[in-house]
Structure 1
Amino acid sequence: MKWCLFLIVFALLLSCKQNSRQIEPAVYYWKSQFNPGSFEKSKLDSLQIQTLYIKFFDIAWNGATSQALPVAKLYARDTAYLRSKKIIPTVFITNEVFYKLDSAGVKTLAKNTGTLIQKYIALYRLNKVPEVQMDCDWTASTRHKYFYFLKEIKAQLKAPVLSATIRLHQVKYTTSSGVPPVDRGLLMCYNMGNLQKEQTANSIIDPEEFGKYQSSIQSYPLSLDVGLPLFDWYVLFRDHHYAGLLSAVPAEVLQTFRKEGAQVYKLLRDTLVSDRALKAGDILRYENSDVESLNKMVMQLNKKLTTKNLRVALYHCDSTILSKYNLHDLENFYSGLRRY
């Protein structure tokens, strides 16, 4: 009897081990000035986060000079804290860059980008750099140039791992989007709805919309890490046309709006928000990354991801954002992907 019980317990333990993932918690730091406050550090410590995706710079097309130039470059004030973490340098590149450049220009861009990344690694004396990540929402018409850029920068950097961010539409439509020539991908599990459509409920996260991509995730040929959203914003519409984004609206200003729906507000009189002139009749749609939707999406991901050693990165590290989530919920976003 004891022997049978031992076999049952052993089988259960073996099953649990075989059906569990190694989760590496991570977070994106997307500000140009690296100077996390005590609240942010405390949150990262509580979540046992040792891996930071740090945006080193953006690359955008400069129409005045007809060049692809680095902008929003990193300035690290707290270098001691930066050096204490595992750092993954990340570079965001606008898709316009690859529309504008020819093959020779792309090759030069890869060389210059690699040189600047290495400059920052040396400047801040970063010893723990196991990976470099490129972030670009490429399209069918720019894929060949972008993929050429990735091959060139891989050779230029000689990085142990080169990764690229992958949007949901790029996972689903691999025939037109292609698969980037990198070692790993990071699936961006946000911005999945039509932001500019007035009828959209929440373009940041929508579990029903996300469900349409599940089978594609399972069959994607790259090992995928995961990025989960923690941000919110207000989408502005004027005369039923998309008119931009507002990162925040003060409570006293929101009182000048009339609530039209669950997260929809109509402005009653002209006002200013962050020095931006809004007009009576303008519509604001509040969108956020709510806990319920995130938990649903984590459950959906858990069924389809095949990656055994999974890095899960929250986007992004900011005291205002992090204060909207309790520690238990943040821990669950990681632990929810541990068992499958």
Structure 2
Amino acid sequence: MTKRFFVGLVFLLLISCGKNEKPIVAFYYWKTIFKLSETEKEVLKGNDVSKLYIRYFDIGLYPESKEPIPISPVRFQENINGFNVVPVVFIQNKVMSLPNLDIDDLAQKTVHLVEEINAKNKIAYQEIQIDCDWALKSKDNYLKFIEQFKKLSKKKLSATIRLHQVKYFKKTKIPNVDSGVLMYYNMGTIAPDAENSIYSQETAGKYLKSLKKYPLHLDFALPIYSWGVHIRNQKVIGLRSKLNANELQKDINFEKIDAIFFKVKKSNYKNGVFYEENDLLKIEAISSEDLKEMADELDDNVVQRPREIIFYDLDEFNIKNYEKNIFKQVISCF
């Protein structure tokens, strides 16, 4: 009886320890040249970051032949030693929508290019991630690609998952990967109204309950970027990256007319983009409070605790908008 009690107590303690284990902080790195600034290095060190998800290249379509091609492969300008690197390959959905896609050839070439980049830069790796917002039309090609890619790479494979793919997984299906990363952002339509397309608690609420039914283990990717929605005559004419309210407030050519809207006072060029007088810029950003709210929402709706929280993306422009300990504050919510 005493022996049974002791075994049961140890079992309960093990479960309890497992539950208290917090996820690690990781980052996406989404620039075409890998070179860390001092600020970026400080954030990695201060948050005990050992894992980086680095975009290696996109796969798009060659305009004339409509053949898949790699776009802007990453170039490493500094040593990556000390980090667990996960190569990420972003595949445009239109590639997977091709009716006569040679899946075996694409998988083989993709694996080869990843291996080539790693060999050139002496990077050891155990995992690869495929990033693709597949749809019903591209589903069959995508699922077959994942199967073939996994067979050829012989590595752990993860895939990005969107909210709609969680809620409707019986239709969109689940790729044969070891784990998924839920991209908890880009939830709404980019529009000239006041809604934030990066994150909306109301929109998220329509999908969150589905997380408890999703059979694949999920880690979470949270946004730390901002952008400007460029509006002319009540129509969106483009997205302007690396923009935030602080930067526009310092620019005499822009006037703040609302909490998130800025008006162009005088026609000008900024960061290579032409802004016409009376154009509007809607700044969409994520606050520290938003990040903690997102973490709380996710924690309330998951069956299995995430192993990682991956922030998108590691860039000095993004991280300087947050207090130093925000990333640890976010993982403490789980």
**TM-score of the two chains, using structure 1 as the length reference:** 0.88
Could you list the per-position Cα deviations for residues 177-202 of structure 1 after superposition, in whole angstroms to 9, with x for gaps in the alignment?
2212211100011111111x222421
Aligned to 1:176: 171
**Residue range with higher mean Cα deviation, 213-222 or 246-255:** 246-255
- CA drift at 1:276: 1.8
CA distance in 2 between partners of 1:44 and 1:51 (Å): 9
Question: In structure 1, what residue type is equivalent to 2:166?
Answer: V
CA distance in 2 between partners of 1:235 and 1:296 (Å): 24
Aligned to 2:303: 306
Question: In structure 1, what residue type is equivalent to 2:68?
Answer: A
Is 1:221 aligned to 2:215, yes or no? yes
Aligned to 1:204: 198
- CA drift at 1:101: 5.3
CA distance in 1 between partners of 2:95 and 2:12 (Å): 53
- CA drift at 1:253: 7.2
- What are the equivalent positions in structure 2 for 1:66-215 lying under 5 Å apart? 66-79=66-79, 82-100=80-98, 102-103=100-101, 105-127=102-124, 129-159=125-155, 161-195=156-190, 197-215=191-209
CA distance in 1 between partners of 2:167 and 2:280 (Å): 32
Structure 1 counterpart SS, 2:175: coil
Is 1:319 aligned to 2:316, yes or no? yes
- CA drift at 1:259: 3.1
CA distance in 2 between partners of 1:299 and 1:251 (Å): 31
| Change in 2 beyond 3 A, CA 1:275/1:22 | closer
Structure 2 counterpart SS, 1:100: coil
Aligned to 1:64: 64
| Change in 2 beyond 3 A, CA 1:187/1:252 | closer
- What are the equivalent positions in structure 2 for 1:29-68 lying under 5 Å apart? 29-68=29-68
| Change in 2 beyond 3 A, CA 1:228/1:87 | same
CA distance in 1 between partners of 2:218 and 2:68 (Å): 29
CA distance in 1 between partners of 2:162 and 2:66 (Å): 28
| Change in 2 beyond 3 A, CA 1:245/1:25 | same
- CA drift at 1:261: 2.3
- CA drift at 1:108: 0.8
Question: In structure 1, what residue type is equivalent to 2:270?
Answer: V
| Change in 2 beyond 3 A, CA 1:199/1:309 | closer
Question: In structure 1, what residue type is equivalent to 2:280?
Answer: I
Question: In structure 2, what residue type is equivalent to 1:109?
Answer: L
Structure 2 counterpart SS, 1:284: strand
Is 1:265 aligned to 2:259, yes or no? no
CA distance in 2 between partners of 1:238 and 1:176 (Å): 38
CA distance in 2 between partners of 1:68 and 1:191 (Å): 25
Question: In structure 1, what residue type is equivalent to 2:39?
Answer: F
Aligned to 2:3: none
CA distance in 2 between partners of 1:62 and 1:278 (Å): 31
**Residue range with higher mean Cα deviation, 299-308 or 40-49:** 299-308
| Change in 2 beyond 3 A, CA 1:305/1:27 | same
Question: In structure 2, what residue type is equivalent to 1:321?
Answer: N
Could you list the per-position Cα deviations for residues 142-195 of structure 1 after superposition, in whole angstroms to 9, with x for gaps in the alignment?
111111111110011011x11100111211222332212211100011111111
| Change in 2 beyond 3 A, CA 1:130/1:11 | closer
Mapped contact 1:83–1:125 kept (Cα < 8 A): no
CA distance in 1 between partners of 2:306 and 2:293 (Å): 21
Question: In structure 1, what residue type is equivalent to 2:230?
Answer: L
Structure 2 counterpart SS, 1:19: helix
CA distance in 2 between partners of 1:202 and 1:164 (Å): 25
Structure 1 unaligned segments of length 5 or more: list them: 1-9
Mapped contact 2:187–2:197 kept (Cα < 8 A): yes
- Identity across matched positions, percent: 30
Structure 2 unaligned segments of length 5 or more: list them: 1-9
- CA drift at 1:95: 0.7
Mapped contact 1:206–1:293 kept (Cα < 8 A): no
CA distance in 1 between partners of 2:317 and 2:271 (Å): 17
Could you list the per-position Cα deviations for residues 91-136 of structure 1 after superposition, in whole angstroms to 9, with x for gaps in the alignment?
0011111223524x22211110011111122222222x22110001
Mapped contact 1:231–1:321 kept (Cα < 8 A): yes
CA distance in 1 between partners of 2:14 and 2:130 (Å): 38
- CA drift at 1:232: 0.4
Structure 1 counterpart SS, 2:176: coil
Is 1:234 aligned to 2:228, yes or no? yes
- CA drift at 1:328: 2.0
- CA drift at 1:137: 1.0
Is 1:243 aligned to 2:237, yes or no? yes
